[in-house]
Structure 1
Amino acid sequence: MADTMVDPILEVSGLVKHYPLTQGILIKKQIGAVKAVDGVDFVLGRGETLGIVGESGCGKSTVAKMLVNLERPTAGSIKYKGEDITRLSGRALKAVRRNIQMVFQDPYTSLNPRMTVGDIIGEPYEIHPEAAPKGDRRTRVRELLDVVGLNPEYINRYPHQFSGGQRQRIGIARGLALRPEVIVADEPVSALDVSVQAQVINLLDRLQNDFDLSYVFIAHDLSIVRHISDRVGVMYLGRIVEIGRDEEIYEHPTHPYTQALLSAVPVPDPEARERRERIILSGDVPSPTNIPSGCRFRTRCWKAEERCAVEVPVLAVPAVFRSVPGPAAHDSACHFAEEKQVVPPEQAAGEAPDGRADGRA
């Protein structure tokens, strides 16, 4: 795994995105805001994969859009190689965008149905002509099709002639066209069948080594995220509540929300399933227009006390673990952080009950 402290390629600090709520027709007055992202911090190291997980609506995709500048943040900074890209525009922003590309969630709507595969993958060369001479572009597109496991002869076909998995490979090829350094993958396999998910995840894994890529991999499937990620960040209601190496998060979670998420992961072994404690959260996720005071998870947390309503927990190594080095000593935004193993040991190790690899990807 990359050492993010030594060689960071992306540094996100205090990232905020609020969408204003207005009323009135002629004179619009802001009456509130949807706090989609409300203070996100993380570092992505060169050659590293950072997985981001959480419930639907927690702000994962909004973070992804801000990383590639499809959305402008309300506040905060996104530093690429030390330069804050949120302050860039024009040619400077265009140059940075070449190095940070995105793979979208839905392979059915992210490809223009009126364009051939060759035109879709080659379109980045029209925007960045310096990336490939005009006479070489068709050859480059054929090479990219081959790299992602598609027949180069498919270059003149249209998106409707491909399956979902093949379409996502086309999307990946388009993302690779400019030889970027960072790929932001926003739930790239959620719309695919399980067997196809495995193929696409293995493809992304191989491409990372071949092209020296760094990934921000966003998903809600915890097993897929663990398979591909070096570190994992858990988001809840616009903020990261726990972040650490994959084994720290999956085998030694300290935040109650992470523990609840892991307890919901399906376990194929009936005996292990019986031994596992299932954590059922009460209530619904609060509205991002009316976030609870203090700890935003307190309204659903079984550990909540009066302190949680008035004091916002800081994302840092909990005091109880600071003097005892170990896997539990990772950043967690909880006043009462406590290590709790909720995934059976054989599942936490990534093995099926018979000791073989579990075949997730």
Structure 2
Amino acid sequence: MAEPILEVSGLVKHYPLTRGILFKKQTGAVKAVDGVDFTLAKGETLGLVGESGCGKSTVARLLCNLERPTAGSIRFKGEEITRLSGRALKAVRRNIQMVFQDPYTSLNPRMTVGDIIGEPFEIHPEAAPRGDRRRRVRELLDVVGLDPEYVNRYPHQFSGGQRQRIGIARGLALRPEIIVADEPVSALDVSVQAQVINLLERLQAEFDLSYVFIAHDLSIVRHIADRVGVMYLGRIVETGSDTQIYDHPTHPYTQALLSAVPVPDPAAREHRERIILTGEVPSPTDIPSGCRFRTRCWKARERCALEVPALAVPEAFRHTSGPAAHDSACHFAEEKQVVPVEEHGNGPG
């Protein structure tokens, strides 16, 4: 395999909880991200899925250096970027851009579309000569499927899908190698979601982009992702190709998520097994011992409270070469087909 363009190892982000006004004392920490490992190859799309609050968006901000990690390593093309500052950090940020979740709040309402898309050129003047920036902005509008004549309009004059296209154009302005898309379609209508997903796929082929695609909609992630990482309470609990995760899940949490995916065929919906999790999601300030999913897991045993399961190929599948032989952080992992293969469809588009 080719060398990964992005390597994340032991990534941790804890937010301290303090008490007092003049003399603050730390009383605990919110463990938003608590040991995440993954790699991203050039031209690949890695999907991160999980419940709200599992740490997906925090990972996105850490990758773009919008926040500093508490611990861990992020290497871009072999270079450690977590400790960079000044010009070195500025150069890396040019190559790792972000598309935000909400197209209504991620665009400045006081700026025209031309100024919004052209703002990266003000920060990185070497990317485009001053006299050429207007033309580049119009080209970017055309690339994302908008009329270049819209350059003097304001964000409130566009629909949600059009605003997200503007955000994508801004992300493309500096010709980055990686785009971190933080739930880019969750605020859009279903028909518009399909348009934006298809646009992202076309742009990936056209600009040779690598994506970290964050979402909670499993059908959308399957449509766009080459590999999928399932997150729970700050950690990745299962990772593999889209076929491995969707057709051959081995972690109980992944199986529960897949059982909640809507199935359009009423007959198939009646016959499939629905996994209902009991109990509340633990607080990230008070992580359970051992396996952090054990408080909601129907397979939990005494070992689960004592030992933290490693994210690795389960022992039962280590001597096989089938699709179930992928990394899963469960002591009692077993393959279970939750959603019938014929009922997946192809997602949006």
> What TM bracket, shorter-length normalisation?
over 0.9
Which residue number in structure 2 is paired with residue 68 of structure 1? 64
Matching of residue 270 in structure 1 with residue 266 in structure 2: yes
Task: Give the % identical residues.
Answer: 85
The alpha-carbon deviation at position 16 of structure 1 amounts to 0.2
The 2-side partners of 1:81 and 1:295 are apart by 33
| 3-state SS of 2:34 partner | strand
The 2-side partners of 1:175 and 1:359 are apart by 25
The alpha-carbon deviation at position 189 of structure 1 amounts to 0.2
Map 1:132-281; keep pairs closer than 5 Å.
132-281=128-277
Which residue number in structure 2 is paired with residue 131 of structure 1? 127
The 2-side partners of 1:65 and 1:288 are apart by 18
Which residue number in structure 2 is paired with residue 354 of structure 1? none
Matching of residue 288 in structure 1 with residue 284 in structure 2: yes
The alpha-carbon deviation at position 42 of structure 1 amounts to 0.2
Asked whether the 8 Å contact 2:239–2:327 carries over to 1, the reply is: yes
One-letter amino acid matched to 2:276: I
Matching of residue 8 in structure 1 with residue 9 in structure 2: no
One-letter amino acid matched to 1:69: N
The 2-side partners of 1:14 and 1:250 are apart by 26
TM-score (norm 1): 0.96
Matching of residue 106 in structure 1 with residue 116 in structure 2: no
Runs of at least 4 residues of structure 1 off by over 4 A? none
Which residue number in structure 1 is paired with residue 348 of structure 2? 360
Which residue number in structure 2 is paired with residue 302 of structure 1? 298
Matching of residue 338 in structure 1 with residue 334 in structure 2: yes
One-letter amino acid matched to 1:169: R
| 3-state SS of 2:122 partner | helix
One-letter amino acid matched to 1:177: A
The alpha-carbon deviation at position 359 of structure 1 amounts to 5.5
Matching of residue 86 in structure 1 with residue 82 in structure 2: yes
Tell me which of 58, 68, 77 is aligned to 2:73: 77
| 3-state SS of 2:5 partner | strand
Asked whether the 8 Å contact 2:197–2:348 carries over to 1, the reply is: no
TM-score (norm 2): 0.99
The 2-side partners of 1:27 and 1:163 are apart by 48
The 2-side partners of 1:42 and 1:245 are apart by 13
Deviation per CA, 1:261-280: give whole Å up to 9, x if none. 00000000011111110000
Structure 1 gap ranges (5+): 352-357
| 3-state SS of 1:87 partner | coil
Structure 2 gap ranges (5+): none
Q: What is the number of residues matched between the two proteins?
A: 349
Considering only aligned residues, what root-mean-square deviation do their CA atoms show, in Å? 0.7
CA shift in 2, pair 1:359/1:240, >3 Å? closer
Asked whether the 8 Å contact 2:120–2:170 carries over to 1, the reply is: yes
The alpha-carbon deviation at position 7 of structure 1 amounts to 2.4
CA shift in 2, pair 1:326/1:202, >3 Å? same
| 3-state SS of 2:82 partner | helix
One-letter amino acid matched to 1:221: D
Which residue number in structure 2 is paired with residue 355 of structure 1? none
